[in-house]
Amino acid sequence: MTVKFWGTRGTRMVTGNAFRRYGRKTICCAVRCGDRIVVLDAGSGIVPLGSELQKSETRSLDLFLTHAHYDHVEGIPFFQPFYEKSFRIRIWAGPLKGIETTRDIVDGLMKEPYFPIRQEKFRAHIRYRDLGDEAVVELGDGIVVRTIKLHHPGGALGYRIDFEGRSFALITDTTHAPGQRDTALLKFLNGVDAFAYDCSYRDSEFAQFASFGHSTWEEALRLKQACGADSVYGLHHMPDRSDKALDAIADWLAAEDGGAFIARDGMEIALDCGRR
């Protein structure tokens, strides 16, 4: 199992030299399980992933969406495999406020006056699948995907992927109650090798953003230690969090926990042989 982060920025994309090293694209990561690929979220990071897939032999994939806020779906209209009939793609999402089906997410993104073409222009073979808050999906080839309801305005799902004794989870766009552990989330993460977590804020910043539906770097460490994961990767970097600011967090992480890292665009981890 390998995981590659294609986008790690939260809220919106950023530009400029101050954001070169950790990344400018919004959330997307690809999990390879043997010859299969599972894509988690479709922020702007999914666009370069699409370019790589076009050059590869991969012609089928599953795309799981945590929710439908722009920074997690804005890459959908620009994902080139959707426009090639050689691709077979399943798109999965859970219950969201104002959305009845997974197909509604794509329909809502791709319509006038917000976007000039409809999804009917897609040429790929696409199937839409609806998920529950505590679903268990067997994708075949030994790949199992589990979901958990997260604490975010409008709804969101977290995902855990298990394959051949290895496991990875994406827990982004969720908040926490200071001083309390989320027992359901801890149970969900129990035994996971690595997980990516919403690290939008520091604990010292959290009070002013507590209702925004995001969490902190310190909470990521607390969860890691409580669930026994080997490693945690913080993402959903806020737009004003520059490379310099993230460098300071990296130094703090290194002093606190040798298994805590900052996810950055292009980072790849192999769960059977450690971090690369």
pLDDT at 273: 45
pLDDT above 50: residue 275: no
Per-residue pLDDT, averaged over 173-189, amounts to 95
Strands 166-171 and 143-149: unpaired
Degrees (nearest 5) of the Cα angle 138, 144, 149? 100
Query: CB–CB of 260/232 below 8 Å?
Result: yes
Rounded percentage of the chain residues whose pLDDT exceeds 70: 99
Top pLDDT among 146 and 211 is at 146
Tell me the pLDDT tens digit for each residue of 82-98. 999 999 999 999 999 99
pLDDT at 274: 41
pLDDT at 210: 87
Tell me the pLDDT tens digit for each residue of 45-57. 999 999 999 999 9
Q: What confidence category does residue 99 fall into, taking pLDDT thresholds of 50, 70 and 90?
A: very high
> Among 181, 218, 182, 214, which Cα is nearest to 203's?
218
Tell me the pLDDT tens digit for each residue of 108-167. 999 999 999 999 999 999 999 999 999 999 999 999 999 999 999 999 999 999 999 999
- As given in the structure block, the two tokens for residue 248 are 């300071």
Rounded Cα distance between 224 and 261, Å, is: 12
Rounded Cα distance between 55 and 106, Å, is: 25
Tell me the pLDDT tens digit for each residue of 8-67. 999 999 999 999 999 999 999 999 999 999 999 999 999 999 999 999 999 999 999 999
Give percent helix, percent strand, percent coil of the chain, each to the nearest 5: 30, 30, 40
The tokens 């926490």 sit on which residue?
176
Residue 42 burial by Cβ neighbours in a 10 Å radius (0-12, 13-18, 19+): buried
> Among 23, 31, 17, 30, which Cα is nearest to 167's?
31
The tokens 């703090």 sit on which residue?
252
Rounded percentage of the chain residues whose pLDDT exceeds 90: 97
For the residues of 29-71, what is the DSSP string, one character each?
A: EEEEETTEEEEE--STTHHHHHHHHHTSS--EEEEE-S--SHH
pLDDT at 109: 95
CA distances from 169 to 45, 72, 105, 112 (A): 18, 16, 23, 35
pLDDT at 272: 73
Fold of the domain spanning 2-275: Metallo-beta-lactamase; Chain A (3.60.15)
